[in-house]
Amino acid sequence: MNAYELKRLVRVILLLLALLISIATLLVSQRLASQIAEEETARMELWAEAERLLNDPYNEGDLGFYLDVIKSNTTIPAILVDEEMNILQSVNVNAKTPADMQAALQRFRFENPPILVPIDRDLTYRVYYGESTIIKQLKYYPYGVLGIIAVFMLLAYLAFSYSTRSEQNQVWVGLAKETAHQLGTPISSLLGWVECLEADVFPPEAPEEMRKDIDRLKVITERFSKIGSEPTLQWVDLNAVLNQAVDYMRSRAGNQVEVALHTPPQTIQAEVNINLFNWVIENLVKNAVDAMEGKGKIECTLAYRSGKAYIDIVDNGKGIPKNQMKDVFQPGFTTKKRGWGLGLSLAKRIVVDYHSGEIFVKDSIPNKRTTLRVILAAKALSTHV
């Protein structure tokens, strides 16, 4: 499964989870509303009974309790009517005019069945009641919340999509510029040798140097052809691979940059693609050179512990702020005025995705030490001869 399929799967899973949460929220809220409605029906029956007793001319008992029952209803709207549907009493009904009261009565008739209030054998009142404010809020509040969540998810999706497209654009632009940068040196060199041939000036070292430039073009072609495909890995001597990569960068780092390599006495082997892994080391060293602004010391150290190879690239440049240590490996991130922020991103992709390793900023002290560490599964063999 590639990265795009994985992102698509994650989006589908998140959408399904959001749907399940929404359904569960609605079901729970409706169940609670139903339970509260049953309780309110019981309360209204008690209220209606209190009204009956208060309106019973033959009731000689203490009516204080029933008055308290009637007064305790402060949330449920109710209307007491006689047999001709004349309104006798109302409570908690927001009606300013008789027409508003009649409209509320008609609405209550559809919301709940009436509660009968028998006054005597020939006279029966009815209580019509509606939904309390609590039930209305409980019924409709989840829809409002889910609507807000839906809008938020839509905005998050749009932002995520924009961010993804922006990142992809940065990668493609950076990859194009990196390609041009990588090809520039050997092509310029070959053009120089062509000018020598045209001028009938052909130094003895020309064939060997031209061969080096052509080999370099082959290396660059192979590197870019492997981006996006599964590279072939083989067990190699990491000491030798690092020595080759550091030697190449040492000759290109400039006269004011010292590049040192420290390797252990035993041979450290790891399963890598030499071409791509050399690219990682070149990018890390180049990043260190840029951080020192072309002047300072870089130390490359290889160590082995408990089945792991630890490769540290240390420079004494300006350092990396703590809040940027994770961002430096993101495509497009750069602190340089010139640059496209792809070198470390490519290095991370090669180390993590292709070699199942780790790469991170181990530590950084401004103008003193910054260490980028690469960790690979490895094995130690015999001591160097």
- What pLDDT, in 10s, does the model give residues 32-58? 877 787 877 887 777 777 777 766 666
Question: Looking at the 3D structure of the chain, how many domains does it have?
Answer: 3
**pTM of the full predicted structure?**
0.53
Rounded CA-CA distance 66/53 in Å is 8
**Domain endpoint, select from 131, 152, 171:** 131
Confidence of residue 385 (pLDDT cuts 50, 70, 90): very low
Domain that holds residue 339: 231-383
Mean pLDDT of 380-384: 68
Mean pLDDT of 208-226: 75
226 within some domain: no
Backbone angles phi, psi at 357, to 5 degrees: -110, -165
221 within some domain: no
Using a pLDDT cut of 70, give the percent of the chain over it: 82
Q: 174 and 276 share a domain?
A: no
Rounded CA-CA distance 249/243 in Å is 10
225 within some domain: no
Q: 141 and 270 share a domain?
A: no
Nearest to 233 by CA among 241, 123, 218: 241
The mean pLDDT value of the chain amounts to 80
Given a cut of 90, whether residue 304 has pLDDT beyond it is yes
Rounded CA-CA distance 20/29 in Å is 14
Q: 277 and 378 share a domain?
A: yes
Q: Choose from 186-200, 239-253, 256-270, 325-339 the range with maximum mean pLDDT.
A: 256-270
Q: 368 and 268 share a domain?
A: yes
Q: 379 and 249 share a domain?
A: yes
Write b or e for each residue in 59-88: b if 16 or more Cβ atoms lie within 10 A of its Cβ, otherwise e.
eeeeeeebeebbeebeebbbbbbeeeeebe
Nearest to 115 by CA among 51, 33, 34: 51
190 within some domain: yes
Q: What pLDDT is stored for residue 336 in this prediction?
A: 58
Q: What pLDDT is stored for residue 6 in this prediction?
A: 65
Mean pLDDT of 10-23: 80
Given a cut of 50, whether residue 384 has pLDDT beyond it is no
363 within some domain: yes
110 within some domain: yes
Given a cut of 60, whether residue 4 has pLDDT beyond it is no
- DSSP output for 59-83: --S--HHHHHHHHH--SS-EEEE-T
Q: Choose from 62-66, 219-223, 226-230, 265-269 the range with maximum mean pLDDT.
A: 265-269
One-letter amino acid at 218 equals K
Rounded CA-CA distance 278/223 in Å is 10
